[in-house]
Structure 1
Amino acid sequence: MSTASGVSAGSVLQLPSFRVPAKRFLPRRTAAGAPAGNFFVKRDIIYNRSYHQFLPLKHIGGLQAAVLPVTPPLLDGEGKKKQMAEEYGFTQIGDELPDDITLKDVMDTLPKEVFEINDVKAWTSVLISVTSYALGLYFIAKSPWYLLPLAWAWTGTAVTGFFVIGHDCAHKSFSRNKLVEDVVGTLAFMPLIYPYEPWRFKHDRHHAKTNMLIEDTAWQPVWQKEIESSPFLRKAIIFGYGPIRPWMSIAHWLIWHFDLKKFRPNEVPRVKISLACVFAFMAIGWPLIILKSGLAGWFKFWFMPWMVYHFWMSTFTMVHHTAPHIPFKSSEEWNAAQAQLNGTVHCNYPQ
């Protein structure tokens, strides 16, 4: 539904103009009663009951303080949406859909061209990604050490194109031939060590349950009970949602795609084929890289571009369905059309 996300019901984020909301420091006694999202203090964490978010306390001059967003004034209608858009860097926050609107109603409003498969465009994207990746490997091989970060950024972004190709194959928008899509999707995901079929099954569920509590497989808010379950988990979540958040997709990759118990019995055979493919790449590709260039070569040519890819993967996931005004809802309150449009952020990246 990425096309539909740009219509009036959705939210549009212009990435270069993104601004972090204004923040202020509040002492512990004030923070506990702050109206912004019903925060309360317990141990070293401030919880937000409204957004299920948490923020670590900061020590300033011997006084514990918390960084909290400034509460916007209560506005109605267009005034509130305009203020939220300005506060969070959006160019547009759309209207709520009427309750009787379905996804089919939305799709019926789209022009037929958006559903047409363009073979030339599809294979051109493959050519661009493969060529860019090959150039990236050449840059890595020839760059002095101080230019390697630029070479890794280029190569990792290029290999992200492989994921986009596999994504289109999973959505059946790459080719009219299902077998071609399965083969291309599997091959595109292999250098990423991403099993194609497990990802496709979970991605289909994400679209079927977008922003539904518990059920959405892409991203979930953090629950208070998870924070309180153990000190180790609490610290791990704080760390994960802090400095390493741009690489949290690595945890998602490990948790969701290699455990056969997470799949239906009829899905398991295809999952096993995909797992065999990525393990074959690891068993053949990695030793060849190490044989030719050593462990340092594996780090330079595969690992660092892979980390850049996961930076983009995490960024896409967070930006696409995560914003202060976008709720996660229980199954009883959830509506498919509302979730896909009002729960989706259309992000304009620089070109």
Structure 2
Amino acid sequence: MASRLADSAVLFMGSHQKPIQKRKIAAQYLPGLWNIKGDRLIHKGFGNQRHLIPRKKITVIQAVAIPVSVSPADNAEHRNQLAESYGFRQIGEPLPENVTLKDITDSLPKKVFEIDDVKAWKSVMISVTSYALGLFMIAKAPWYLLPLAWAWTGTAVTGFFVIGHDCAHKSFSKNKLVEDIVGTLAFLPLIYPYEPWRFKHDKHHAKTNMLREDTAWHPVWEEEFDSSPLLRKAIIYGYGPFRPWMSIAHWLMWHFDLKKFRSNEIKRVKISLACVFAFMAIGWPLIIYKAGIMGWIKFWLMPWLGYHFWMSTFTMVHHTAPHIPFKYSDEWNAAQAQLNGTIHCDYPQWIEILCHDINVHIPHHISSRIPSYNLRTAHKSLQENWGKYLNEATWNWRLMKTIMTVCHVYNKEENYVGFDKLSPEESYPITVLKKVMPDYA
């Protein structure tokens, strides 16, 4: 983890509490946990806020009915408060310990696992057509409309990633050679090596929200945050204002280093890397020859940055929220991680179409064998059978603001501690985000 963030540094360099009124405390029910620590009483309640109250000033609390050792997630009213605070539509109840991932998978209708070649190739046509339209828009748009053209094209090329994603999960075609060819070709415009990504992504599904083992993003460790001023600065910027493009660091660090792969994977990794480098060696010079350096920036770089915006945004929304814990392997539960620890988020319809429903993400983590075009049917089944346990949202600014300004450093009790709590004098980027980001939900 430390090496991952240390490498990212290269990319990103370039209270005062009001007095508690006795009457108010006695009159209100405050859901949450109360713990004695040192000379303070700590209440962990709404929005993971910590209220520190000197013991000698709260003797009245001994006579008040305050729930002890009640998890906030067990209280419906509190879950609703958290959902409103974080920008969620629903925060799910904790999944019972005796529920297994097989129980959930077995509840899904068999049809959602069926591969349909017509639907699969229809998704390819949607991506090819929308990408071609995007390139045409870039070529013809006046300069002041280029951002719109880049947004469309970056979203369209994200659809290529989703197609390759299905191929990697063996849910695109019954012919595995076809899947490997299509997956490799779909990833080429993104400069993504197909096999290295597939190997790492399989581990993400096997170890979702497991500390250290999950190959997607983790919370920051406090020891690495404190390890050096330079790394701390890079981490604050990387997990703060640059977070919607943090997947660029992940792309560089995870997919091109042969040392990160097992010996039986190396051959396939090398083939994928050769394809990517060949595309760069042939494709980039052709673009520059035809359109110049500015053409390369207009037609490839800007849409690619748009793709990474979605790659980063989708990934952090899928598994990151103040109430969703990362756990050590000895505490980890597969059913809880995949059903309770994965988030369904609705985006505008044109994004859902161009990205082939990748954000209908909970069923995909219940079983990666479900093709993207069957995810909505599978999600409807989960809503019917397991609906009260699901975390669901519609994309909004409050949701993004919560992730980018709160979900930072790992803490076993609180899940996350914000950078500005640990190092307020160095967390100017976070305080700026809190001020300038909209809070609409």
TM-score, L = length of structure 1: 0.80
Separation in structure 1 between the aligned mates of residue 93 and residue 108 of structure 2, nearest angstrom: 18
Deviation at 1:37, TM superposition (A): 12
How large is the Cα RMSD of the aligned pairs? 2.4
The partner residue of 1:335 within 333, 336, 347 is 333
Equivalence map 1:278-289=2 (5 Å): 278-289=276-287
- 2:320 is aligned, of 319, 322, 335, to 322
State the AA in 1 paired with 2:310: W
Deviation at 1:259, TM superposition (A): 0.3
For each residue in 1:118-161, what CA deviation from the matched residue of structure 2 results, as whole angstroms up to 9, or x when unmatched?
A: 11111011001001111111111111111111111111000000
Q: State which of 78, 81, 94 in structure 2 corresponds to 1:80.
A: 78
Write out per-residue CA displacement over residues 169-208 of structure 1, whole angstroms, 9 at most, x where no aligned residue: 1111111111111100000000000001111111100000
AA partner of residue 321 (structure 1): H
- In 1, the alpha carbon distance for the partners of 2:76 and 2:33 equals 21
1:218 aligns with 2:187: no
User: Which position in structure 2 is the counterpart of 1:176?
Assistant: 174
SS in 1 for 2:90: strand
The secondary structure found in structure 2 opposite 1:206 is helix
- The aligned counterpart of 1:155 is 153
Distance 1:139-1:124 versus aligned 2 partners, 3 A rule: same
Q: Structure 1, residues 302-331: CA drift from partner, whole Å, max 9, x if none? A: 000000000000001100000111000001
Flag the 1:88–1:71 CA change in 2: closer, same or farther, 3 A: farther
Cα 1:143–1:329 change in 2 (3 A) is same
Number of the residue aligned with 1:204: 202
**Which amino acid in 2 is paired with 1:134?**
A
1:189 alignment partner in structure 2: 187
1:272 equivalenced with 2:270 (yes/no): yes
Query: Hey, what's the Cα distance between the residues in 2 that align with 1:140 and 1:245?
Result: 26
The equivalent residue for 2:347 is 349
Residue 117 of structure 1 aligns to which amino acid in structure 2?
A: I
Give yes or no for the alignment of 1:240 onto 2:232: no
SS in 2 for 1:347: strand
User: In structure 2, do the counterparts of structure 1 residues 36 and 300 end up closer, same or farther at CA, with 3 Å as the change threshold?
Assistant: farther
Which residue is equivalent to 2:302? 304
Give unmatched runs, 5+ long, in structure 2. Answer: 1-14, 20-31, 36-43, 52-66, 350-441
Change (3 A) 1:160 1:212: same
Q: Which residue of 1 aligns with 2:228?
A: 230
Could you say what secondary structure the match of 2:226 adopts? helix
Which residue of 2 is the match for residue 17 of structure 1? none
More helix by share: 2
Which residue identity lines up with residue 80 of structure 2 in the other structure?
K
Deviation of the 1:27 alpha carbon? 4.9
SS at match of 2:314: helix
User: What secondary structure, in the 3-state scheme, does the structure 2 residue paired with 1:229 have?
Assistant: coil
Tell me how far apart the structure 1 counterparts of residues 299 and 348 of structure 2 sit (CA, whole Å): 26
Q: Distance in 2 between matches of 1:184 and 1:312?
A: 21
Offset at residue 69 of structure 1 (A): 6.8
Corresponding letter in the other structure for 1:102: T
**Distance between the aligned counterparts of 2:83 and 2:111, measured in 1?**
30
Write the distance in 1 (CA, Å) between the matches of 2:342 and 2:48: 22
1:111 paired residue among 87, 109, 132 = 109
Answering whether residue 129 of structure 2 is matched by residue 131 of structure 1, we say yes
Maintained 8 Å contact 2:225/2:232: yes
Q: Equivalents in 1 of 2:258, 2:99: separation in Å?
A: 37
Q: How far off is 1:98 after superposition? A: 2.1
8 A contact 1:198–1:257 mirrored in 2: yes
Give yes or no for contact 1:36–1:71 (8 Å, CA) kept in 2: no
Moved more, 69-78 or 115-124: 69-78
Alignment check: 8 A CA contact 1:36 1:69 kept: no
**Is the CA contact 2:48–2:322 (under 8 Å) kept in the aligned structure 1?**
no
Amino acid across the alignment from 2:150: W
Distance 1:204 1:80 in 2: 35
CA distance in 1 between partners of 2:290 and 2:194 (Å): 28
Shift of 1:84: 1.3
Cα distance in 2 for partners of 1:95, 1:250 equals: 34
Output the CA distance in 2 between the equivalents of 1:320 and 1:256: 20
Q: How far apart in 1 are the matches of 2:48 and 2:79?
A: 17
After superposing on structure 2, the runs of 4+ consecutive aligned residues of structure 1 that deviate more than 6 Å are 35-38
2:343, 2:199 → 1: CA distance? Answer: 22
Letter in 2 for 1:252: H
State the AA in 1 paired with 2:181: V
What amino acid does structure 1 have at the position aligned with 2:125?
L
Q: Distance in 1 between matches of 2:323 and 2:244?
A: 21
Query: Counterparts of 1:129 and 1:338 in 2: how far apart (Å)?
Result: 34
- Distance in 2 (CA, whole Å) between partners of 1:269 and 1:291 is 33
* 8 Å CA contact retained: 2:117, 2:172: yes
Distance 1:159 1:37, change over 3 A: farther
Q: Secondary structure at the match of 1:173?
A: coil
Matched, 1:255 2:265: no
CA distance in 1, matches of 2:109, 2:347: 24
Name the stretch that deviates more: 130-139 or 81-90. Answer: 81-90
Task: Tell me which amino acid in the other structure corresponds to 2:269.
Answer: V
Distance 1:84 1:178, change over 3 A: same
In the superposition, the TM-score normalised over structure 2's length comes to 0.64
Distance 1:325 1:314, change over 3 A: same
The DSSP-based 3-state class of the residue aligned with 1:218 is coil
Deviations 1:12-69 (A, max 9, x none): xxxxxxxxxxxxxx359x9xxxx9999xxxxxxxxxxx9xxxxxxxxxxxxxxxxx97
